[in-house]
Structure 1
Amino acid sequence: MSDFTRLPDLAARALGGGVVAANDEFFAEKENLLRPTAPVFQPHTFGHKGQIMDGWETRRRRPEYEAGDHDWAVVRLGAPGVIRGVVVDTAHFTGNYPESCSLDACAAEGYPTPAELEEAEWVPIVPPSPLRGDTEHHFEVEADRRFTHVRLNIHPDGGVARLRVHGNVIPDPRFLTGSAWDLGAVENGGRVVDASDRFYSPPNNVLSPGLPRVMGDGWETRRRRGGGNDWVIVELAAPGHLAQAALDTSYFIGNSPGSARLRGIDAAVADPDDPGAWFDLLPRTRLQRDTRHRFRIDASRPVSHVKLDIYPDGGLARLRLFGEPTPAGLATLGLRWFDLLPAAQAVRVLITECGAPPEWARGVVDRRPLTDPDGLAKALEGSEPSVAARVRDLVATAP
């Protein structure tokens, strides 16, 4: 048997995986299936539904009130790909594990709802197979196709602690074009300049680096009454042309927005206070709960600010705005950086990175700020052409 567990877990939360639906989760939540940590058990820890289990557990199936013949959970792969094997772990389920399991998989475009997934073309990838209690079961998969979702079927009911879906990532090439700059990221200089609501958590959270770990890592508004919608406005690190946007509702399960819209404006040529000056980057689009959404943006017009509208309210974990700065925007960014360096550091930078003579470097630094009418061009007058070219490159200004 090949060791498929050395391959990435396509369903991992860190990659954006999530459990989108289950027919029953009476004793323990379906989201536990994808927890990255090993299952744990604490005896004699009871809730109002019984022993608290670290896994997914359904009620005992009774023909007189249960429809169908088995329970199931649908998992969205964070990284779609070719599945080489799955691990079904019944750790700590000793008297309440399923008799057997099977798995199906499908490929779907976009972000379908659970109801839409019912109409998908599901194909078997693991046939009905017996299970044992408190055991990690490994099943090889031979279906050589790219899948986006898997469905774990348990027969007839019971509990599963963890599900791992190992395979080879097959990225969508439609999302592999354009610049990798996140122009909205706080670590790149993006910032929230206004928001409709800051009740539960600050909107700046959506621009934070890394992946969210809990719901509190994102931005959440209070429940809106009386119409309208919530929104946040982001000033980009530099004006640019956006190519992609990522709207992440991870961990927002019962309180994610129903839909969202992105609009942009270039504050150099239009007034952000004029509602009619904003133009669509992403029209109002349906969102799914606990999902990392990616959208391509056809934005031929540069933007300096982006407005995110969520409908009607709720929470968002992260907002990513990928694009390429305009030459003027990059120049502004570079000049601002150079103007704000301490004098000694600025001189050192010119000497070590641009090969500038020390006396000349001190003269340039003394003429800051270089964004005034004299500007960089005046400061470079009479300098060695090769040095001048390196200085222009340093501050991201076209020669």
Structure 2
Amino acid sequence: MADSPREGRLARCPDFTQLADMASESVGGKVLFATDDFFAPAENLIKSDSPSFREHEYTEFGKWMDGWETRRKRIPGHDWCVIKLGIQGIIRGFDVDISYFMGDYAPRMSIQAANLEEDKQPAIPQRGVRTGAAATPEEFEAVAQLKSDDWNYLVPMTELKPGKPASSHNYFPVNSQQRWSHVRLNIFPDGGIARLRVYGIGQKDWTATDSKEPFDLVAIAHGGACVGYSNAHFGHPNNMIGVGKAKSMADGWETARRLDRPPVLENDENGILLVPGCEWAVFRLAHPGVITQIEIDTTHFKGNSPDSCKLEGCILTTQEEEDMIKQKWELPGQKWKPLLPVTKLSANKSHLFDSLTLELQDVITHTRLTISPDGGVSRLRLKGFPSSICLLRPREKPMMRFSVKAGFRANL
């Protein structure tokens, strides 16, 4: 088996949990194989909702559990499963959640990973309904072609620690810059785990991008990420750049109600509310580029959508981004370029706009969505064309030069 790196130490309240769960069923994660699913199937590991407990519910195989639980092993070996990530990219950390498995949790576990090319993956039998079953010889033979025994270790064998019955998270940071497409969860020797969260950043192969078609440059699956926000009381801004359409209000960005709103609200001549405050979220694009199309979707926000919004973009180096995060994004106003002026929004509706400027010099690396006065947005899509960009080192001041992918001019 592959050598184990020096990773896997437990962490408390890690920042990486604000990133995307790359294994979640909501982004296309899929269980390919599990050695055993006797009490509860491995598909529960990648559910997007939190685990639950039904005290008096039993199945024909035993206690109903919201997680993956194998039978008590009476043969040599240990249990394991393979998950294909819905978002392929860089893994920053894991949450191995054993909530409610107080007497049946797996005492130890490890996690391996691999980056497999799509066209070279073997055909593995569909799993179907698995409760009460173990892997068949045919399934073992098929999964053996993945050679998962030799995958890289991101977390070596580590003891799991139970916490409160309803909240037993075991966090493991990962220090790897490699791109990963699959993970293998090993449990020793058997037992249950409620959820496996694989937090990280999507990474797209931009060399294979069709330069004639606009791409969503802020999508979390491509590598976009929220790097700052004013308020996320009911939902994180990263939700807005998630995969697919929002399933509910919980799948979007929603702020608390601002307390500085006037006692009696008034509009200006354009129907925009006259309020002193606003909320904002800043995103790093998955790739520097030119934004041509903007979608701001308030679906599901029927009584709590923003009154209006605006969108701006800027160019920042990595060092400048780090400085802005420390300064809570107090960026000089002249740095921001308008992409969408202050615009009235409607509740429960997808809004499509053209970007204000399409000139080649308007390549950006970051964007800021401002909503007024508060409320919720389910999705933000920023379609455009990725560009090659030479970002300067800090303190260097020669003129930046941009080159745009072939085919871009033809699309303007």
TM-score range, shorter chain: 0.3 to 0.5
Query: Which structure is larger by alpha-carbon Rg, 1 or 2?
Result: 1
Structure 1 or 2: larger helix share?
1
Q: TM-score, normalised by structure 2?
A: 0.42
Asked which structure has the greater RCO (Cα within 8 Å, sep 6+), the reply is: 2
Q: TM-score, normalised by structure 1?
A: 0.43
